[in-house]
Structure 1
Amino acid sequence: MKTEDISLFHRIVETGSLVEAADILNLPKSTLSRRLQALEDELEVKLFHRQSRSMTLTASGSHFYDKTTSMMSELEQTLSEITDEKAEVAGHLRILIFPIPELLQISQAIFQFMDLNPSITVEIIVSAEPQDMIRNNIDLAFMLEDSFNENEMVARHVLSETVHFFASPEYLKKVGYPETPCDVSEHNSILFRYPNGRIFNEVPFGQDMTLQVKGNLCVNNLSVCLEATLAGKGIAMMPMPFCQDYVDSGQLEMLFKDTAPYEGKCYLVYPSRRYISLASQRFIDHMLVVLEDCSQTASCNQIAKIRGPIKPML
């Protein structure tokens, strides 16, 4: 019995459809169907009730899925323990990245991991839309805090970024400058919606305050948020590196300069109820080392400035 066939079985279970699983895995439906049938023939049990548009597990299929999930996890852990850390690994990784200012740095670290492991294939998905990581066969994701369900994910903190309030000089001239933090609630704010559907309307201020904000515009994309702020549509809370050039040129003003900024955090997450592959484990180890070095030396930021930002993708 091939472990790869068991993995394919898991993907069919998690998508609920042979067609969707074939699309995600980039395999012909006929190939996936044939390998599933071979697995059932070898086990001498029926794993699925086959319907026209979906597939549901039989009692035996459900039992097999539950048992093999833990078995596959233990197998991957064993392989990780006995394999030389410098040995090349193979496999395919689907990586989701929330559109954050560090997108370029993360991408460069992924490219470095691919150089170290030429047999690895990678698919990068940049999206601020909600994604079911299990159903969409996403192995790992870079997401902001509060944008994922902690009960369903294992999360590793990889990046931190200072976040400030910004407004255009035109907006401040027209509406007035908020003298105190409480004044922000009386202004028009540009709201942000996280991938999990939550609207960021209770925003942190300094180290120990939370402000209620309201506004007539809500976005889920940092570039749109920036453009709206530049257009004078309201006050926005954004990462400093994303806005620094516009502050330097006078197109934006940073508010409450004497207050310590809020520190936003980005996490590398993966589903807690799916076994993690050896390739994923090695990738996590690589990213933790590289991004920690980036945070301490700012070397990635220097490279990013030389190569240029990926603003159209944000």
Structure 2
Amino acid sequence: MKTEDIALFHRIVETGSLVEAADILNLPKSTLSRRLQALEDELNVKLFHRQSRAMSLTASGSHFYSKTTPLLAALEQTRTELTGHKSDVSGHLRILIVPVPEQLWITRVIFDFMDQNPKLSVELIVSAEPQNMIRNNIDLAFLLEDTFNETEMVARHICDEKIHFFASPDYIKNSPVPISLEELPNHNSILFRYPNGRIFNNFPIGEDKVLTLKGNLCVNNLEAILEATLTGRGISMMPRPYVQEFIDNGQLIMLFEEIGPFEGKCYLVYPSRRFISLASQRFIDFMMNTLEQHKQSNAGNIGIAAHGLIHR
């Protein structure tokens, strides 16, 4: 029995479809079907109820999936322990990045990792839409806090996002300048929707007070927020480094400079109930080591996180 065929079986289970699994794995459907059939023949059991558009596990299939999940994880861990950092990293990584100001920096770290591991192939998925990591066979993801399932993921703190309030001179010209944060609910705010669907419209003040912001425009990426702010459509919340050039040339005005910023967090996330490949483990180590070096040298504008593991 080949472990590769068991891993393919897992991908079919997690996508719920032979066609989707074949597309994600970039394999012909006929190849996947043939290898699944060979696995069933070897086990002498039927693993799936085959339907026209979907596949559901039989009782035997469900039992096989639950028993082989820790086995695959243990096998991958043993391989890592035996090879250490001596063996070459190969295979394929699918990495999801939610659009953040550090996106380019993260991408360059990924490129550096690829240069050191030429046998590895990588697929980058940049999306502000919610993605089921297991169903879509995503190995690793860079996500904002509160946008992933805390009970099913392991997350490592990568960077902090310091968010400030901004408006254009045109907006200020047509609306009274808010003197205090308490006045913000009376203004038109440009709202942000997280990838998990939640709207970021509750802004914490102090330890026990929250402002509920209102607005007639809600978007899910920074580029659209910036454009809406520049054209005077409302007050927005954005990281200062992302808009510094527009502050310098007078196109944006930062409000409440005397008030400390709101701090959001970005994490490197992976499923806790799924075996982690050697390539994923090596990349996680590489990213955290790069962050540590960055932290020590104080290079760049990225908010460096503490080097620690956070179990969500």
How far residue 269 of structure 1 moved from its aligned partner, in angstroms, is 0.6
Q: State whether residues 88 and 116 of structure 1, in contact with CA within 8 Å, keep that contact through their aligned partners in structure 2.
A: no
Q: State whether residues 294 and 301 of structure 1, in contact with CA within 8 Å, keep that contact through their aligned partners in structure 2.
A: no
For 1:238 and 1:209, locate their aligned partners in 2 and report how far apart those are by CA, in whole Å. 21
After superposition, give the CA deviation of every residue in 1:102-147 in whole Å (9 maximum; x if it has no partner).
1100000000111111111100000000111111111111011111
For 1:296 and 1:205, locate their aligned partners in 2 and report how far apart those are by CA, in whole Å. 32
Matched, 1:121 2:121: yes
Percent of aligned positions that are identical: 69
Give the total of aligned pairs.
302
**Distance change >3 Å, CA 107–CA 275, structure 1 → 2:** same
Matched, 1:96 2:92: no
**Residue 26 of structure 2 corresponds to which residue in structure 1?**
26
The residue identity in structure 1 corresponding to 2:78 is T
How far residue 180 of structure 1 moved from its aligned partner, in angstroms, is 0.7
**Residue 151 of structure 1 corresponds to which residue in structure 2?**
151
**Residue 279 of structure 1 corresponds to which residue in structure 2?**
279
The residue identity in structure 1 corresponding to 2:148 is F
Q: State whether residues 98 and 142 of structure 1, in contact with CA within 8 Å, keep that contact through their aligned partners in structure 2.
A: yes
Unaligned runs of 5+ in 2: 303-312
User: Over the residues paired in the alignment, what is the CA RMSD in angstroms?
Assistant: 1.6
Task: Pick which of 291-300 and 99-108 moved more.
Answer: 291-300
For 1:248 and 1:200, locate their aligned partners in 2 and report how far apart those are by CA, in whole Å. 27
Which SS does the other structure have where 1:268 is aligned? strand
**Residue 166 of structure 1 corresponds to which residue in structure 2?**
166
After superposition, give the CA deviation of every residue in 1:158-211 in whole Å (9 maximum; x if it has no partner).
111211111111111210111011011111100011011101010235787532
Query: What does 1:72-111 correspond to in 2, within 5 Å?
Result: 72-111=72-111
**Residue 43 of structure 1 corresponds to which residue in structure 2?**
43
**Distance change >3 Å, CA 116–CA 271, structure 1 → 2:** same
Q: State whether residues 194 and 200 of structure 2, in contact with CA within 8 Å, keep that contact through their aligned partners in structure 1.
A: yes
TM-score normalised over the length of structure 2: 0.93
TM-score normalised over the length of structure 1: 0.92
Large movers: runs of 4+ above 6 Å: none
Unaligned runs of 5+ in 1: 303-314
**Distance change >3 Å, CA 297–CA 223, structure 1 → 2:** farther
After superposition, give the CA deviation of every residue in 1:239-289 in whole Å (9 maximum; x if it has no partner).
111111111111111111111112221001112221111111111111112
The residue identity in structure 2 corresponding to 1:246 is F
After superposition, give the CA deviation of every residue in 1:11-40 in whole Å (9 maximum; x if it has no partner).
000111101100000000011011111111
Q: State whether residues 241 and 301 of structure 2, in contact with CA within 8 Å, keep that contact through their aligned partners in structure 1.
A: no
For 1:141 and 1:248, locate their aligned partners in 2 and report how far apart those are by CA, in whole Å. 33
For 2:81 and 2:101, locate their aligned partners in 1 and report how far apart those are by CA, in whole Å. 35
After superposition, give the CA deviation of every residue in 1:279-301 in whole Å (9 maximum; x if it has no partner).
11111111112134335545455
Q: State whether residues 95 and 141 of structure 1, in contact with CA within 8 Å, keep that contact through their aligned partners in structure 2.
A: yes
Which SS does the other structure have where 1:215 is aligned? coil
**Residue 308 of structure 1 corresponds to which residue in structure 2?**
none
Query: What does 1:251-262 correspond to in 2, within 5 Å?
Result: 251-262=251-262
Matched, 1:239 2:239: yes
**Residue 188 of structure 2 corresponds to which residue in structure 1?**
188
How far residue 86 of structure 1 moved from its aligned partner, in angstroms, is 4.5
For 1:242 and 1:162, locate their aligned partners in 2 and report how far apart those are by CA, in whole Å. 10
**Distance change >3 Å, CA 224–CA 72, structure 1 → 2:** same
Q: State whether residues 154 and 269 of structure 2, in contact with CA within 8 Å, keep that contact through their aligned partners in structure 1.
A: yes
How far residue 51 of structure 1 moved from its aligned partner, in angstroms, is 1.2
**Residue 250 of structure 1 corresponds to which residue in structure 2?**
250
**Residue 294 of structure 1 corresponds to which residue in structure 2?**
294
Which SS does the other structure have where 2:189 is aligned? strand
Query: What does 1:4-15 correspond to in 2, within 5 Å?
Result: 4-15=4-15
The residue identity in structure 2 corresponding to 1:127 is S
For 1:207 and 1:229, locate their aligned partners in 2 and report how far apart those are by CA, in whole Å. 29
Which SS does the other structure have where 1:188 is aligned? coil
